[in-house]
Structure 1
Amino acid sequence: MIRHIVFFSAKDQADVEQIAEGLGVLADIPHSDFFEVGINRKVDQIGTEVDVVVYAEFRDEAALAAYKAHPIYDACTAKVRPMREIRMAADFVSRRTG
């Protein structure tokens, strides 16, 4: 399983909800086994730069690639990119079996 985690920060804090809503359309892409978007509660005293988190799970690299190639992904990127300051992503293979 591939775990896909993406962190976003907003250029303007007034746009955080709109960014989260914009990213939410990614759930309509059929290639993920699990998908969610959350707004950072910012309870960590050291790191509060992240505003929105995308977390998804994919069966394999091919499913992740198909997700990123989907037209909804491109439309979402075009909508959200102007509002975001930082985007950091990580994809890793989970060896957890249960």
Structure 2
Amino acid sequence: MNKKNYTYSLILSALEDKSGVKRKEELQFDFENHDDIFDIVDRIKSKSVFEEEKTATEFVIGLKLFTEVLLKNRKHPLFEELGPQMAAFMKKLKSQ
């Protein structure tokens, strides 16, 4: 793994489906990110960008997973139109 990045492990456990049926599925994987995700979660929470702290955590984790894939695959045709919009979005988010 690249030493310029932070290394994380994510475990996602399914608890129940939308009908309330209990589930016991799990995804676990390790990944790298160029940012300190815990620091970003704390900053978003402290700025009260969202009413609930839980929402801030969900937002940051989803955003950081997505944007790291986007950065590593920026020349992929799937992301070709998204690049400029994502850059503008990130500038707006950082100005909050």
Give the TM-score band, short-chain normalised.
under 0.3
Which gives a bigger RCO, structure 1 or 2 (Cα 8 Å, sep 6+)?
Answer: 1
Structure of larger gyration radius = 2
Compute the TM-score of the two structures, normalised by the length of structure 1.
0.27
Compute the TM-score of the two structures, normalised by the length of structure 2.
0.27
Task: Name the structure where strand makes up a greater proportion of residues.
Answer: 1
Task: Name the structure where helix makes up a greater proportion of residues.
Answer: 2
